[in-house]
Chains A and B, each alone.
Chain A
Amino acid sequence: MSSNNNHHDHPKENFIQSYIFSVDHKIIGIQYGITSLLFLLFGFSLMAIMRWQLAYPGTEIPIVGFLFGEGGVLVSDQYNSLGAMHGTIMIFLGIVPLAVGAFGNYLVPLQIGAIDMAFPKLNAASYWTYFVGGVIMISSFFMPEGAARSGWTSYPPLSIFENGQTIWLISMIFLITSSLLGSMNIIVTIVQLRAPGLTWMRLPIFTWAQFVTSFLLVLAFPPLEAAAVMQLMDRVASTSFFLPSGLVMSGEIVEVAGYGSPLLWQHLFWFLAHPEVYVLILPALGIVGEILANNTRKPIWGFKSIIYSMVFLGFVSFIVWAHHMFLTGMGQAMSAFFQTTTMIISIPSVVILTSYFLSLWGGSIRFNTPMLFALAFLPMFGIGGLTGLPLGLAASDIYLHDTYYVIGHFHYVVAPGTIFALFAGIYYWFPKITGKKMSEMLGKLHFWPSLIFMNGIFMPMFIQGLAGVSRRLADGGQSYAHASGVLEWNEFMSISAFCLGLAQIPFIVNIIMSLFSGEKSSRNPWDSTTIEWAAPSPPVGHGNFDKPVNVYRSSYEYSVPDAKKDFKPQFEK
């Protein structure tokens, strides 16, 4: 996107141009990475406060208790705010920017042998839009109304009249715009900027995953943007998009035109939010694929089936959304349709997971830190996926909907699922990004407690959910007799959560220490086959590679008989 003709002389850029408003995808990827990791930490802290309340109801919250009224104990409004903001921040400010904004932006151009993304300035714009959206979202905590508290799902009529929602909606508009710009950039980059010889079927799984994910973001987010505008108008312009007639609040009739529909919000929201969960998992599946191939020293089993499954998954993800709405009084035909499509969508996930398990068979497995996280991902994602099945069938969902079972299900997929894959990716690509190696010892110290405590938090949730404990209860279910037998798990789960937090300390220490005094890394420390390892570590500032990239074979030529070592990189003759 340069407006002058010369290629090699750049005017000397100042600090602001080079690092703050950089248009280099590597800097932007790092910006996304740091910002999203900080947001993840913040979102985690919100949950830790909630979990204290659930474990020790009525007691003062340590350290930050002074921020909350009533003697350091959460009142229900505050609990609800923490809940809604935890979900929102983890998904929209944490995972998606990390998985797509950070990993996608940094690695896709490198993996396809390109010098940058197709639209570098647009890339910078998408980061800064995300940043502004994030600031707005966090600022809601400091506003007089307080932060949003109607769930991350923001269902009307509650969300129309509850506090904090207006800022949430404005922030979402920025975040959605950022996402649209970023994903459009990724699609054009992958289609147009692949190196010579890099055909579609030679693309690594990671890049395919980013490609499908970007389509989901481009096509599924806009209806939510439309719905957010409508909800904003309901709040500030007194429209009745989502408000039915005859609403009574605090004993008084609500003076609105009426004839609106809360169901309309649910349809438009879930039209995005279902593909959104595949946005959360697909990049993770991509990362795991790379690391498994590399550390089994074998090509991934069923590469083509995996790719077709990812594409099919992306497609079907658009027609399953109403399985979140089984309890809204839908008729038999619709219920049957959505149950069927939901069952169908489990097939590609199973194909991918099974292929990954089969890839391990006969492999020369190296148990380094990225591999440990990638291996743990497999059964964890399996549990997450399997526990989704009763939720996709209306008969069982009627009982399990909005219980802790649901929370357990989706956290298994996202927490020891996606987040583990993202950790694996950070350990795997850290040498490429920084030119330094991370400590294996600290990595293992991070991994094992994290795995144990993740299960400690989320496994009992299935027990609580099956007993009928509803989600989003500020008192944790204490006022319900049917919950009494299972609430004793709360203390165990909360302690697991706090220990999980402590288990992240080795990770943070590892990153900082390795940045400054880590062992220098070679170009290809993991002996990998994909193109990003052709670049120096870290890659060349402008242009990534120090010689032209050509691709000669598919992405996972490991254990090739006549190779110099035990692999043939894509980029070497």
Chain B
Amino acid sequence: MEIPYSIEEREDTGLINSKLGIWIFLASEVMLFGGLFSAYIFLRLAAPPGDFEYWASKLSVPMATVNTMVLISSSVSMVMAWASLKLKDFSKFKMYMGITLLCSALFMVIKYFEYTSKFSHDIFPSSSTFMAIYFTLTGLHGIHILGGVVVMLYFYLPFSHQLWHDQPEHFTNRVEALGLYWHFVDLVWIFLFPVLYLL
């Protein structure tokens, strides 16, 4: 038996189940990253004056700026992918989803170079509390990117295309949920970037 309101909206709430579900999940993610941001503030206060600025100066602002633009672009291409589905244009959807995947890959590659350049200069999470919170925040964010990529691949590769043919609305809603998750990952980076690299 079908669970109701998976595709059509419930009248009094105006929502489908997956939309409410993904937003509640994102609320929990706000609290997860919030815990780490709270840790950042606490640790910055606990460190000697200038300690955090000293360690932050070792980060590469240009690389992070490029990554910021890459992630914002991926957010645009993700929402365009969903819009293409709403316009029933599956090939456009694939194109935009492909761009999103490429941007994600680029983000992770730049991140890889960022991390390895730290390690090659003997800078590890254990080097200071700033580096500890830097690697943890960006690392957890990176894991979220990878998670998003896995789901994106699921929708991009032929696994789920039967669902598009059988139930296009259901497929579109699922991509919308993925999009909301992806925009959230972008949102976290929008705060991570200035806090870690510029302050």
Contacts and interface: CB of A to CB of B under 8 A. Distances in A.
Direct contact of A and B (CB under 8 A): yes
Interface of A: 1-5, 7-8, 115-116, 118-120, 180, 184-185, 187-188, 191-193, 218-227, 229-230, 233, 237-241, 244, 256-261, 263-264, 267-268, 271, 542-543
Contact of B163 (A3, A230, A261): A3
Contact of B129 (A116, A222, A259): A259
A5 B28 contact: no
A118 B15 CA distance: 13
Contacts, number: 146
B126 A257 contact: yes
Contacts of A233: 125, 132, 136
A268 B126 CA distance: 21
B36 A226 contact: yes
A120 B6 CA distance: 12
B27 interface: yes
Interface of B: 1-6, 10, 13, 15, 17, 20-21, 24-25, 27-29, 31-36, 38-39, 42-43, 46-48, 51, 124-129, 132-133, 136, 140, 162-163, 166-167
A235 to B, nearest CB: 11
B20 A240 contact: no
Contacts of A542: 1
Contacts of B38: 223, 267-268
Nearest to A243: B129
Contact of A259 (B3, B25, B46, B136): B46
A230 B28 contact: no
Contacts of B34: 222-223
Nearest to A255: B126
A1 B136 CA distance: 35
23 contacts: A1-B3, A2-B2, A116-B1, A118-B21, A119-B21, A184-B25, A185-B21, A192-B13, A192-B15, A219-B31, A221-B28, A222-B29, A223-B34, A227-B35, A233-B125, A237-B126, A240-B129, A241-B129, A241-B133, A257-B126, A259-B47, A267-B38, A271-B35
Given A241-B129, A256-B126, A222 B28 contact: yes
A358 B16 CA distance: 41
B28 A184 contact: yes
A186 to B, nearest CB: 10
A1 B17 CA distance: 11
A113 B167 CA distance: 27
A115 B3 contact: yes
A115 B43 CA distance: 49
Contacts of A219: 27-28, 31
Contacts of B48: 259
A222 B35 contact: yes
A220 B31 CA distance: 7
